[in-house]
């Protein structure tokens, strides 16, 4: 309008100028007026066109954002999801007047069957990209379709957003325009593995639909189970179009397996058919475990009662959606809308994928607004003139801008927090809910959260609620079952010789190995059907070696092997062993002989040489002490020197046999003798016991103590036939030409007794059976070479292996194993002979304490005697010590301690008898009444002349005493 007015003004100016140029131009005035009217008319028309009409201003401000949708509305998922998408746009633009949005998302739906073929979905995608010029495509439903559409998205730089195809076969780096608004299956795999670990199941079999939806899920599941030490023996795949017969064959294959824990991931239609047939086959009863992955758990909301009835006891994993007011309101609105569009439907609420579809469209509308679209410009492909529709697809700048905005969207939707994970183009993994079908109802029993694992409620580690398993039992299944109509085929070795371990009686296996196995099997809480098959030719001979027998288990010709099967490393490569049920190890068996030779000098063997010498020394020492104390007062210890020396030895040696007859009169000597007699008593008893042992008990010692001695002498070594011993002996550097095989205890005895072999090398259980029969002539010697003993062999991964192992431990703990071993080895035990040749003679060290006691007692008595004697005669040697030489002093001391002390001599007469010598009537502790005379070297009598200051000697009242030591050496005594 303003421009029109300006143009009119200019025309008026021009007209005025023309008029003023000359008055003669009057005929042009009507033309100017005509032009002015035309300009005014133009201004009015422009103003009318520019004037806004009510309600049209907002529409002119909005930019339409075209988004394609590829769904299969003939399916539950497609129909439910489309209703959720429509509600999402209604809710997002409900407050448009207040928000003032500049864009508006318009959905363009294309129906594409969600079958195994992706042609329809690819065609729909090409149509949307080529003809509608969409900035994004929501869908498709399946991972198979997503694989093709992801390539279209890469070519056109248009994001392909899927809320249900959660397992594409290609990585995000290969398909950067494929964005998943569903949670990661690898996180779901971790939740399932945590549930398996919680109940300690060791094997799981996945049952999956054979399509691209499981291309990434199965590797993730196997890895997650491997982290919790759970095996996946095999995978059961069922084609989406499989008929009833094919499904039954798959179920029969599952029944023939030991594993009873299954993880199921398939479409609703196939799952419902599968579980119905599994129930008909009896696989929905006790002992089975069925875990359904996310996607299949929605079947209970979709199908309702039919699914709840056939899936009783199933445990499911589904994403955790917090209950909010917004979600509850949405459910009511969705239910009204869906029922109005689908009369007679049994679906009561949207499934989890429907909630993802709602949040996905909400995020698209939010991203479109944040991207600030002004147009939908696009760049033609360089191959726009190609021969195919794929070559004519164009690249859209607006779609690239929209993708960047969509990846940054962050909001709280009705399914939870909506955040696309960096570089993964998928929702961030979070919490899963654990559901259980019980009483034809779906109930939540716990949640799984990364880092916290299983719990009843969020952010706590308190375990999950009680699960009702198939069959209505609350007891946790053990995770495996015996295959239907399966009877274990148990291989039994044929081994003549050691029949106490394994033998056949009328075709029935007997022996210790069978007894233990039967005890364990009978203690199990379930029945294990079995039958034994001998590994023999029917003539009492084996069909092969033990290695070949064990390999039969690996070849599945036997379900187990029971017998004296040694646990070896090379055998464990093909089978699993139970815990050993016998003593483990390998030792040598050798003859024994008596090492003691009975000779004329055998009586000396009880005591070692040092003990003999020590005993003799203390005999002489004790005799000397007694003589020294007694000879002054006891007539029996006096006399000529030779007589006194004889008395010393005779008395001391006679005490060894308590045959001494000399009477002891001094209390000090009595103390010394009493202590010595105590020592002699112990010595005598020990000597008698040791001599008796030497003369009556054999000292059996092994003829060989180690293999080095055998190798050095070049002797032969025996071993058990059909065993692993040759390999062991070769490692021990035994020449193969020096090895000889034997098959029975009798052959062992014959070979050792006749010298055919020097030793037998065998496992301890065999040797103990041999020694139970030949105990006194042989013994086990040498080091124990470590081996694991006997065990039962089962196929790799067999669930019976840990069950039997626990049974063996139970037998060992309750004492039943000891009873079976007594039956095997006999009640009498055969002790091992000592293979070290140590002497049994008594040593000085064993009696050192006694000798110290008697020596100390004798020395103490001697010291006290010397002190008392010197004290009693102190007047004789103290007064004269200052005036005589040390030689004279020595002579005085000699005289004091050697001369008879008649005053202290005890009365030797017996009361009432007339021949009592009154000189001995005094106490040995009485003081002497005679005077000791000084010794004069120049006199023969030893008397001291008077007048030299020496003390005189009083005359005793007693009779004459014994001759003094000086007199015995005088000339008078010689005469």
| 3-class secondary structure, 423 | coil
Residue 670 is encoded by which pair of tokens? 């009595």
Q: Annotate 799-828 with DSSP letters as a single string.
A: THHHHHHHHHHHHHHHTHHHHHHHHHH-SS
pLDDT of residue 709: 85
Distance CA 901, CA 840 (A): 50
Q: Which residues contact 822 (CB under 8 A, 6 or more apart)?
A: none
Say if residues 558 and 543 touch (Cβ distance below 8 Å). Answer: no
Distance CA 45, CA 41 (A): 6
pLDDT of residue 897: 65
Distance CA 159, CA 401 (A): 10
Q: Annotate 696-737 with DSSP letters as a single string.
A: HS--EEES---HHHHHHHT--EEEESSSSHHHHHHHTT--GG
CATH number of 586-595+700-787: 3.40.190.10
Which tens digits make up the pLDDT trace of 723-746? 889 988 998 889 889 999 998 999
DSSP 130: I
pLDDT lower than 70: segments of the chain:
1-61, 96-99, 115-116, 166-171, 373-396, 422-426, 428-429, 458-462, 594-599, 634-636, 638-639, 658-662, 696-700, 828-840, 874-886, 888-889, 892-893, 895-975
Say if residues 726 and 747 touch (Cβ distance below 8 Å). Answer: no
Q: How many CB atoms lie within 10 A of CB 159?
A: 25
Look at residues 269, 274, 202, 203 and name the one whose alpha carbon lies nearest to residue 237.
Answer: 274
- Per-residue b or e along 75-108, where b marks 16 or more CB atoms closer than 10 Å to that residue's CB: bbbbbbbbbbbbbbbebbeeeeeeeebebbbebb
Residue 6 is encoded by which pair of tokens? 């300006």
Distance CA 225, CA 231 (A): 7
Look at residues 161, 163, 156, 89 and name the one whose alpha carbon lies nearest to residue 399.
Answer: 156
Q: What are phi and psi of 66, to 5 degrees?
A: -85, 125
pLDDT of residue 805: 95
| 3-class secondary structure, 873 | coil
Distances (CA, A) of 676 to 520, 650, 651: 66, 15, 12
Q: What are phi and psi of 290, to 5 degrees?
A: -120, 120
Burial of 17 (0-12, 13-18, 19+ CB in 10 A): exposed
State the fold for domain 185-322+432-455.
Rossmann fold (3.40.50)
Residue 32 is encoded by which pair of tokens? 């100017």
Where do runs of H (alpha helix) occur along 25-95?
29-50, 57-61, 76-92
Check if CATH label 3.40.50.620 holds for domain 488-577.
Answer: no
Distances (CA, A) of 106 to 66, 89, 178, 308, 347: 5, 9, 20, 39, 27
Q: Annotate 897-937 with DSSP letters as a single string.
A: HHS--GGGPPP-PPTT-TT--GGG-S-TTSPP-S-PPPP-T
Question: Matching CATH topology for 63-182+324-425 and 185-322+432-455?
Answer: yes
Say if residues 146 and 170 touch (Cβ distance below 8 Å). Answer: no
Q: Could you say which of 3.30.450.40, 3.30.379.10, 3.40.1390.20, 3.40.50.2300 is the CATH number of the domain covering 63-182+324-425? A: 3.40.50.2300
Name residue, tokens 């093709």: 148
SS (H, E, C) 39-51: HHHHHHHHHHHHC
* Ranges of each domain in the chain: 63-182+324-425, 185-322+432-455, 488-577, 586-595+700-787, 623-697+842-872
Distance CA 89, CA 536 (A): 80
Distances (CA, A) of 861 to 441, 514, 630, 864: 104, 76, 11, 5
Average pLDDT value for the chain: 78
Q: Which residues contact 146 (CB under 8 A, 6 or more apart)?
A: 140, 160, 162, 165, 168, 178
As a whole number of Å, the CA-based R_g of the chain is 58
Question: What's the CA angle centered on 872, arms 871 and 876, to 5 degrees?
Answer: 90
């Amino acid at each position: 309008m303003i421009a029109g007015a300006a143009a009119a003004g200019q025309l008026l100016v021009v007209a005025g100028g023309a008029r003023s140029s000359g008055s003669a131009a009057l005929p042009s005035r009507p033309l100017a007026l005509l032009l002015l009217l035309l300009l005014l008319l133009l201004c009015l028309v422009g103003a009318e066109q520019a004037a806004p009409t009510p309600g049209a201003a907002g529409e002119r401000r909005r930019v339409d954002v075209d988004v394609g949708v590829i769904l299969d509305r003939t399916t539950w998922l497609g129909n439910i999801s489309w209703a959720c998408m429509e509600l999402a746009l209604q809710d997002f633009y409900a407050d448009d007047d207040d928000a003032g949005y500049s864009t508006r998302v318009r959905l363009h739906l294309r129906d594409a069957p969600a079958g195994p073929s992706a042609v329809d979905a690819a065609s729909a995608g090409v149509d949307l990209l080529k003809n509608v010029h969409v900035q994004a495509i929501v869908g498709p439903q399946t991972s198979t379709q997503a694989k093709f559409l992801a390539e279209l998205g890469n070519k056109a730089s248009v994001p392909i957003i899927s809320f249900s195809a959660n397992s594409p076969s290609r990585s995000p780096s290969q398909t950067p325009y494929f964005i998943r608004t569903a949670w990661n299956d690898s996180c779901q795999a971790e939740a399932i593995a945590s549930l398996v670990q919680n109940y300690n199941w060791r094997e799981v079999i996945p049952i999956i639909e054979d399509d691209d939806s499981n291309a990434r899920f199965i590797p993730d599941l196997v890895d997650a189970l491997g982290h919790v030490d759970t095996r996946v023996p095999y995978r059961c795949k069922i084609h989406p179009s499989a008929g009833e017969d094919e499904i039954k064959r798959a179920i029969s294959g599952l029944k023939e397996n030991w594993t009873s824990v299954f993880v199921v991931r398939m479409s609703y239609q196939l799952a419902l058919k599968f579980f119905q047939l599994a129930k008909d086959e009896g696989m929905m009863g006790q002992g089975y475990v069925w875990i359904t992955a996310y996607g299949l758990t929605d079947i209970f909301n979709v199908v309702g009662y039919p699914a709840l009835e056939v899936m009783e006891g199933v445990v499911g994993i589904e994403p955790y959606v917090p209950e909010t007011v917004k979600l509850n309101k949405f459910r009511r609105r969705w239910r009204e809308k869906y029922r109005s569009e689908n009369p007679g439907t049994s679906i009561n609420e949207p499934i989890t994928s429907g909630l993802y579809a709602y949040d996905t469209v909400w995020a698209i509308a939010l991203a479109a607004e944040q991207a600030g679209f002004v147009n939908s410009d696009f760049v033609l492909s360089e191959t726009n003139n190609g021969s195919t529709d794929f070559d004519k697809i164009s690249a859209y700048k607006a779609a690239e801008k929209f993708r960047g905005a969509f990846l940054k969207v962050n909001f709280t939707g009705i399914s939870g927090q909506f955040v696309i994970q960096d570089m993964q183009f998928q929702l961030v993994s979070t919490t899963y809910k654990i559901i259980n079908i019980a009483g034809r109802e779906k109930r939540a029993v716990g949640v799984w959260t990364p880092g916290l694992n299983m719990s009843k409620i969020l952010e706590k580690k308190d375990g999950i609620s009680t699960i009702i398993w198939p069959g209505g039992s609350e007891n946790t299944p053990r995770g495996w079952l015996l295959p239907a109509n399966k009877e274990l085929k148990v291989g039994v070795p044929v081994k003549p010789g050691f029949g106490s371990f394994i033998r056949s009686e009328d075709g029935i296996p007997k022996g210790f190995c069978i007894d233990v196995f039967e005890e364990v099997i009978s203690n199990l809480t379930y029945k294990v059907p079995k039958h034994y098959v001998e590994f023999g030719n029917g003539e009492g001979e084996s069909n092969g070696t033990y290695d070949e027998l064990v390999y039969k288990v690996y070849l599945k010709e036997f379900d187990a092997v029971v017998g004296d099967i040694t646990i070896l490393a090379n055998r464990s490569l093909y089978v699993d062993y139970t815990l050993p049920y016998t003593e483990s190890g390998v030792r040598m068996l050798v003859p024994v002989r008596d090492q003691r030779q009975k000779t004329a000098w055998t009586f000396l063997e009880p005591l070692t040489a040092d003990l003999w010498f020590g005993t003799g020394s203390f005999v002489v020492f004790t005799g000397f002490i007694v003589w020294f104390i007694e000879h002054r007062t006891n007539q029996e210890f006096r006399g000529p020197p030779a007589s006194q020396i004889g008395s010393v030895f005779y008395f001391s040696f006679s005490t060894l046999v308590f045959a001494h007859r000399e009477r002891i009169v001094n209390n000090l000597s009595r103390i010394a003798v009493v202590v010595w007699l105590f020592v002699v008593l112990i010595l005598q008893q020990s000597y008698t016991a040791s001599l008796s042992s030497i003369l009556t008990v054999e000292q059996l010692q092994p003829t060989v103590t180690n293999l080095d001695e055998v190798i050095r002498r070049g002797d032969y070594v025996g071993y058990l036939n059909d065993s692993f011993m040759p390999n062991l002996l070769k490692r021990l550097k035994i020449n193969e030409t020096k090895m000889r095989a034997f098959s029975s205890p009798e052959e062992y005895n014959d070979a050792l007794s006749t010298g055919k072999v020097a030793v037998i090398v065998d496992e301890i259980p065999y040797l103990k059976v041999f020694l139970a029969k030949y105990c006194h002539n042989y013994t086990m010697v040498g080091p124990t070479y470590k081996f694991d003993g006997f065990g039962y062999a089962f196929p790799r991964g067999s669930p019976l292996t840990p069950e039997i192992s626990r049974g063996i431990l139970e037998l060992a703990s309750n004492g039943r194993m000891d009873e079976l071993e007594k039956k095997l080895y006999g009640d009498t035990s055969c002790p091992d002979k000592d293979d070290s040749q140590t002497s049994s003679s008594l040593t000085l060290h064993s009696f050192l304490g006694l000798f110290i006691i008697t020596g100390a007692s004798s020395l103490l008595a001697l010291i006290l005697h010397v002190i008392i004697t010197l004290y009693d005669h102190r007047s004789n040697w103290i007064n004269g010590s200052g005036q005589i030489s040390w030689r004279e002093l020595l002579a005085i001391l000699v005289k004091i301690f050697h001369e008879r002390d008649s005053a202290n001599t005890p009365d030797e007469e017996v009361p009432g008898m007339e021949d009592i010598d009154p000189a001995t009537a005094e106490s040995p502790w009485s003081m002497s009444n005679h005077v000791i005379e000084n010794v004069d070297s120049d006199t023969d009598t030893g008397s001291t002349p008077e007048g030299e200051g020496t003390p005189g000697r009083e005359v005793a009242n007693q009779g004459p005493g014994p001759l003094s030591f000086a007199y015995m050496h005088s000339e008078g005594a010689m005469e």
